[in-house]
Chains A and B, each alone.
Chain A
Amino acid sequence: MRMRASTRSYSSRAALTGVAATALLLGACGIGGGDDDESTDTTDAGDSEDAELSGEITFQTWNLQGGYEDYFNGLVADFEEQHPDTTINWIDQPPEGYQDKLSADAAAGTLPDVIDIGPEAAYTLASADMLLDLSQADPEAEQQYLPKSWEAMTFAGLGGGTYGYPWYLNTGPSFFNTELFDECGLDSSNLPTTFDELFDQAATMAEECPNTPMIGRMPAIETFGMYGVELMNDDGTEFTFNNPAGVELVQKYKDLYEAGGLTEDSLNEQQTGELEGFKSGHLGWLPGSSYTLQDLKETAPDVYENVAMGPLIANAAPNMYIQSIAVNAQSDNEDLAIEFARFVTNVDNQFAFSQQAAIFPSADGALDDPFFTEADDTDESRVRVEAAQQVEQAEVYWPPAFSSQSADYMREQIALAIQGDKSPQEALDESVAYANERLGSE
């Protein structure tokens, strides 16, 4: 969701199509990044040694046509040039209702051959044997990706199979509205870096400025992860976030709410509402992505002038999100689908894509490029470099078996606990029971 929120607003980047095409060509030629040797070594997928590939497949992306049409047309053309007997039909789905589209296709048995998909959806489809287990079908591919990204698409709850080639990653800094900090009795040069500091400063802000809270929404599952809560057991067979650390986090939110540091709106807010609250200057803290800075610059220039950045607030490793490219297990042309999926996610094409979108490649070695290690004097490059460094430490916290329904249910239960209708322990117990029930039914 967060990834999509980042990329959805990128239609303005269509203006950079010339740059896109150039970058693609450079990338395809292996000179897109600074690590030419590594790129060449690892980019066997999609190269033209396999001349036997032929036929036609469908490649589906999610809301990428608007901003990146030239990139994907170039990608497809490049692959078809390397494999003259092949045809790749690229289709793009609109941002809304992507899961519904996947649901309808899955139920009808008409899933595309190659699919742009997140871990949660991949887990559900994989549990119904609809996605190819790449650890079996293409085991050597693992070496081409960052180990943590490969692990993120490897589902312990499904016997340890890997159900998607890692594609792009995203993480980002925390954003703070320094104007509110100064107005509300806080020191904008002493930004919070841990949850304890965040809640302390949020309480101060609540006391001084009752209508401008620090925190804009309920904790999500990744917030629990960053707080240091164990989310699942090692086997991936049971959720465990109703442990004392989880209860402690909910209790902190409850205390803050009682101190006036959370609005009624925030109990029902989703990610977009939190972002809008920060853009309108009514929120002190926003855990952002690498794209947020550009978004603020373009759509909330007044707030942008007073924004300070810091690392994601975490007691443990920071969070990141991952998107993958999966292969339909029922594809009529499995070899071609695998080859194309690896081509899309190879180091050069991932690097080329990351030069256009504010995302980070999951291909091994791509983050060593100076593009991700050397900042110039722009805020954007500083954010990019810092976020790229953060990727090195970050974890994909969202368990793939944690469905969107479970996430909604957890938000509802926490809201009830914060309002005092039930205890934090009861709220988390019920959330865990609900999620475990779903786990068993998939």
Chain B
Amino acid sequence: MSAAHGGPVSGFGAPEVRTEPGHRAVGSPMAGAPKGSRNTRKSSLRTHQRWYVPWLFLAFGLTITITFILFPFFNTLGLAFTDATLLRDGQFTGLENFRRMFDDPRFTTALLNSTLYVICVVPFMVVLPLILAALVAGKGRLLGFFRTSYYLPVVMSVVIIGLIWTNLLDSRGLVNSLLQWIGAIDSPIPFLTDRWLLLFSAMMVTVWSGLGYYMVIYLAALANIDQSLYDAASVDGAGTVRTFLSVTMPGVRSTMMLIAMFSSIAAFRVFGEVYVLTGGTGGVGGRNVTMTMLIQSEGTGLQAETGYAGAISLAMFVIMGALLLAQLWYQRREEDA
């Protein structure tokens, strides 16, 4: 910017560099050099002396990143190898926290639950919003109404959603009362106390509340599919299903991969739904605890074991990183093919 205007960026307090024609510093290595070269060197000098200008532009963003991302990350990394608690600086304990982690049945349970969450939730998150998006794409008030309805859970707090579903699925909740009233069941279905039923209930809540978000992403992707492809499919006599499979799905393939990535990470980090449905307890016997719930349990409160919580966080980071890399690799392979 300054070069274009031929003046210093004095607004940043940069020292002025003299640029008058004919002026040359005595003893300068450029002495005797052709005029054009001299001008280039001056410009270079000016740029060199304002090395900090780009940093000034970056300062705000860097400060935020360092304070809220890099420092906590490296701090967690360091804590993971200590026996620190909230109120006591830890000693370096090497891999002790990781050894403890793999001996801890709660960690195994949490890892299993979070992994199952990814396996079960992600396929629904990838496919169902696409079907919804295909159904509600287009113009018209009715379609607009459905789009809004499907998106509504996205703007609701996860706590509110959890409470709604808790009241529905409780042993004395609406679902059980209704089923008992019509005589379908004799005793309540333990949606919120049976280990697997609770996990699947939480998955259902996650899918229900996340559909709208991914539907909107698909709607944007659908708008980018060339209309002539649909026309050609129509001319060829393709029906709705064939058109969906042969035109729509290939057209949003990259979006599907993106959503698979996003929803995998979100599913592995699940917290709110399980927390609220179990009343914050992690289920009967703690058998519904997830990775993030375990971190929260170990890493908060006055008795927080920050070192151990850091180790679990690090393990979670590594697992999610591996998941992400695997998906990127698969996506690249698909693109190359």
Interface residues, chain A, with chain B CB atoms under 8 Å away: 99-100, 102-103, 106-107, 121, 124-125, 127-128, 130, 211, 263-265, 267-270, 273, 280, 282, 403-405, 408-409, 411-413, 415-416, 419, 421, 438, 441-442
Other-chain residue from A124, A264, A282 in contact with B303 (beta carbon distance below 8 A) = A124
Contact indicator B279/A100 (Cβ below 8 Å):
no
Sample 20 A-B pairs with CB under 8 A, ordered by A number: A99-B301, A102-B302, A103-B86, A106-B87, A124-B87, A125-B87, A125-B302, A128-B88, A264-B194, A270-B279, A405-B301, A405-B303, A408-B286, A412-B286, A413-B285, A419-B285, A421-B285, A438-B303, A441-B305, A442-B85
Contact indicator A408/B281 (Cβ below 8 Å):
yes
Q: Separation in Å of the A296 CB from the closest CB of chain B?
A: 19
Q: Is B278 an interface residue (CB 8 A)?
A: yes
Q: Which residues of A contact B162 (CB under 8 A)?
A: none
Q: How many of chain B's residues touch chain A, expressed as a range? A: 20 to 34
Q: Is B284 an interface residue (CB 8 A)?
A: yes
Q: Is B193 an interface residue (CB 8 A)?
A: yes
Contact indicator B301/A100 (Cβ below 8 Å):
yes
Q: Which residues of A contact B170 (CB under 8 A)?
A: 265
Q: Separation in Å of the B309 CB from the closest CB of chain A?
A: 12
Given contacts A103-B301, A265-B193, 11 further A-B contacts (CB under 8 A): A106-B86, A106-B87, A106-B302, A121-B302, A124-B87, A125-B302, A268-B193, A270-B281, A403-B302, A408-B281, A412-B282
Chain A's closest residue to B105 (CB) is A430
Q: Which residues of B contact A264 (CB under 8 A)?
A: 171, 190, 193-194, 284
Report the separation of the CA atoms of residues A441 and B88 in the bound assembly, to the nearest whole angstrom.
Answer: 9
Contact indicator B85/A441 (Cβ below 8 Å):
yes
Report the separation of the CA atoms of residues A405 and B300 in the bound assembly, to the nearest whole angstrom.
Answer: 10
Which 10 pairs of residues, A with B, have the shortest CB-CB distance? A128-B87, A264-B193, A412-B286, A416-B285, A403-B303, A124-B302, A415-B285, A267-B284, A268-B284, A264-B190
Q: Which residues of B contact A411 (CB under 8 A)?
A: 281
Q: Is B297 an interface residue (CB 8 A)?
A: yes
Q: Given A268-B193, A268-B279, is A130 in contact with B285 using a C-beta cutoff of 8 Å?
A: no
Chain B's closest residue to A406 (CB) is B303
Report the separation of the CA atoms of residues A438 and B286 in the bound assembly, to the nearest whole angstrom.
Answer: 18
Q: Is B283 an interface residue (CB 8 A)?
A: yes
Contact indicator A103/B284 (Cβ below 8 Å):
no
Q: Separation in Å of the B289 CB from the closest CB of chain A?
A: 9
Q: Which residues of A contact B298 (CB under 8 A)?
A: 405
Report the separation of the CA atoms of residues A267 and B278 in the bound assembly, to the nearest whole angstrom.
Answer: 11
Q: Separation in Å of the B273 CB from the closest CB of chain A?
A: 16
Report the separation of the CA atoms of residues A339 and B83 in the bound assembly, to the nearest whole angstrom.
Answer: 38
Report the separation of the CA atoms of residues A269 and B193 in the bound assembly, to the nearest whole angstrom.
Answer: 10
Q: Given A121-B302, A265-B193, A441-B85, is A273 in contact with B279 using a C-beta cutoff of 8 Å?
A: yes
Which residues 263-303 in B have Cβ within 8 Å of A in the complex? 278-279, 281-286, 297-298, 300-303
Quick one: which of B88, B279, B284, B297 has the most chain A CB within 10 A? B284
Interface residues, chain B, with chain A CB atoms under 8 Å away: 83, 85-88, 170-172, 187, 190, 192-194, 278-279, 281-286, 297-298, 300-305
Q: Which residues of A contact B190 (CB under 8 A)?
A: 264
Q: Separation in Å of the A259 CB from the closest CB of chain B?
A: 15
Contact indicator B194/A268 (Cβ below 8 Å):
no
Chain A's closest residue to B282 (CB) is A412
Contact indicator A130/B87 (Cβ below 8 Å):
yes
Contact indicator B86/A441 (Cβ below 8 Å):
no
Report the separation of the CA atoms of residues A415 and B287 in the bound assembly, to the nearest whole angstrom.
Answer: 10
Report the separation of the CA atoms of residues A242 and B278 in the bound assembly, to the nearest whole angstrom.
Answer: 27
Q: Which residues of B contact A412 (CB under 8 A)?
A: 281-282, 284-286
Q: Which residues of A contact B193 (CB under 8 A)?
A: 264-265, 267-268
Q: Which residues of A contact B300 (CB under 8 A)?
A: 100, 103
Q: Which residues of A contact B286 (CB under 8 A)?
A: 408-409, 412
Q: Separation in Å of the B72 CB from the closest CB of chain A?
A: 14
Chain A's closest residue to B278 (CB) is A268
Chain A's closest residue to B308 (CB) is A441
Other-chain residue from B83, B172, B194, B285 in contact with A441 (beta carbon distance below 8 A) = B83
Q: Which residues of B contact A416 (CB under 8 A)?
A: 285
Contact indicator A99/B302 (Cβ below 8 Å):
yes
Chain A's closest residue to B297 (CB) is A405
Q: Which residues of B contact A99 (CB under 8 A)?
A: 301-302
Quick one: which of B86, B170, B192, B298 has the most chain A CB within 10 A? B86
Q: Separation in Å of the B160 CB from the closest CB of chain A?
A: 16
Q: Separation in Å of the B89 CB from the closest CB of chain A?
A: 11
Q: Given A264-B171, A419-B285, is A404 in contact with B85 using a C-beta cutoff of 8 Å?
A: no
Q: Which residues of A contact B279 (CB under 8 A)?
A: 268-270, 273
Contact indicator A415/B86 (Cβ below 8 Å):
no
Q: Which residues of B contact A438 (CB under 8 A)?
A: 303
Contact indicator A103/B285 (Cβ below 8 Å):
no
Report the separation of the CA atoms of residues A405 and B293 in the bound assembly, to the nearest whole angstrom.
Answer: 13
Q: Separation in Å of the B105 CB from the closest CB of chain A?
A: 9
Q: Separation in Å of the A104 CB from the closest CB of chain B?
A: 9
Report the separation of the CA atoms of residues A442 and B87 in the bound assembly, to the nearest whole angstrom.
Answer: 8
Q: Which residues of A contact B303 (CB under 8 A)?
A: 124, 403-405, 438, 442
Q: Which residues of B contact A211 (CB under 8 A)?
A: 187
Q: Separation in Å of the B191 CB from the closest CB of chain A?
A: 10
Chain A's closest residue to B302 (CB) is A124
Chain A's closest residue to B307 (CB) is A441
Report the separation of the CA atoms of residues A438 and B83 in the bound assembly, to the nearest whole angstrom.
Answer: 12
Q: Which residues of B contact A408 (CB under 8 A)?
A: 281, 286, 297
Contact indicator A282/B172 (Cβ below 8 Å):
yes
Chain A's closest residue to B170 (CB) is A265
Q: Which residues of A contact B172 (CB under 8 A)?
A: 280, 282
Q: Given A99-B302, A264-B194, A268-B279, is A107 in contact with B86 using a C-beta cutoff of 8 Å?
A: yes
Q: Given A106-B86, A106-B87, A441-B85, is A419 in contact with B284 using a C-beta cutoff of 8 Å?
A: yes
Chain B's closest residue to A441 (CB) is B85
Q: Which residues of A contact B171 (CB under 8 A)?
A: 263-265
Q: Separation in Å of the B170 CB from the closest CB of chain A?
A: 8
Chain B's closest residue to A103 (CB) is B302
Report the separation of the CA atoms of residues A441 and B82 in the bound assembly, to the nearest whole angstrom.
Answer: 12
Q: Which residues of B contact A127 (CB under 8 A)?
A: 87
Chain B's closest residue to A107 (CB) is B86
Chain A's closest residue to B193 (CB) is A264
Contact indicator B304/A103 (Cβ below 8 Å):
yes
Q: Separation in Å of the B310 CB from the closest CB of chain A?
A: 14
Chain B's closest residue to A210 (CB) is B187
Other-chain residue from B283, B302, B305 in contact with A268 (beta carbon distance below 8 A) = B283
Report the separation of the CA atoms of residues A269 and B304 in the bound assembly, to the nearest whole angstrom.
Answer: 23
Q: Separation in Å of the A338 CB from the closest CB of chain B?
A: 23
Report the separation of the CA atoms of residues A263 and B284 in the bound assembly, to the nearest whole angstrom.
Answer: 12
Q: Separation in Å of the A102 CB from the closest CB of chain B?
A: 6
Quick one: which of A269, A282, A405, A442 has the most chain B CB within 10 A? A405
Q: Which residues of B contact A421 (CB under 8 A)?
A: 285
Q: Which residues of A contact B83 (CB under 8 A)?
A: 441
